[in-house]
């Protein structure tokens, strides 16, 4: 038995043995990685310039932004963007909420996480997960 849930731009389909996700997560991930790499290049350039000129503001500005950029880049790189996930690879499925934004987090057994945003009916999805999805 399969069940489909609508996303704002796409859908998530639960089959007997897999989860299929159609969204733009791959595009978003690589856009963020590209922007963070550009920011990192700018920060390195700013940091080197501050060492040459002795400007303390650019030194600390570059240090803080560089550290933040590396942390964000590593966070984006541990996110999975796979479109098909077998249920035997799933460790847990949880509906989480940050402020008024609800989303599905699929934690995989290899410690990667797949996040699905913009679900139209999170209450129905949560009920479906509780009753029909059995993770081994």
Q: What is the pLDDT of residues 79-121, one digit of tens each?
A: 888 899 999 999 999 999 888 888 999 999 988 899 998 888 8
66 or 19: which carries more pLDDT confidence?
Answer: 19
Residue from 63, 83, 66 nearest 74 by CA: 66
The end-to-end CA distance of the chain, in Å, is 18
pLDDT of residue 64: 86
Tens of pLDDT, residues 21-73 = 999 888 888 898 898 888 888 888 888 888 888 888 877 877 888 888 888 88
Tokens encoding 67: 């550290």
pTM: 0.76
């Amino acid at each position: 038995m399969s069940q489909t849930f609508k996303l704002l731009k796409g859908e998530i389909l639960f089959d007997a043995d897999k989860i299929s996700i159609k969204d733009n997560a791959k595009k978003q991930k690589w856009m963020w990685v590209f922007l963070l790499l550009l920011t990192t290049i700018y920060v390195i350039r700013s940091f080197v310039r501050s060492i040459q000129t002795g400007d303390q503001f650019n030194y600390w500005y570059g240090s803080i932004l560089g550290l933040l950029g590396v942390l964000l880049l590593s966070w984006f790189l541990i996110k999975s963007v796979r479109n098909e996930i077998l249920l035997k690879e799933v460790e847990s499925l949880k509906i989480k909420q940050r402020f008024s934004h609800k989303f599905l987090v699929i934690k995989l057994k290899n410690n990667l996480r797949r996040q699905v945003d913009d679900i139209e009916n999170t209450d129905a999805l949560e009920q479906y997960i509780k009753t029909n999805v059995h993770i081994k």
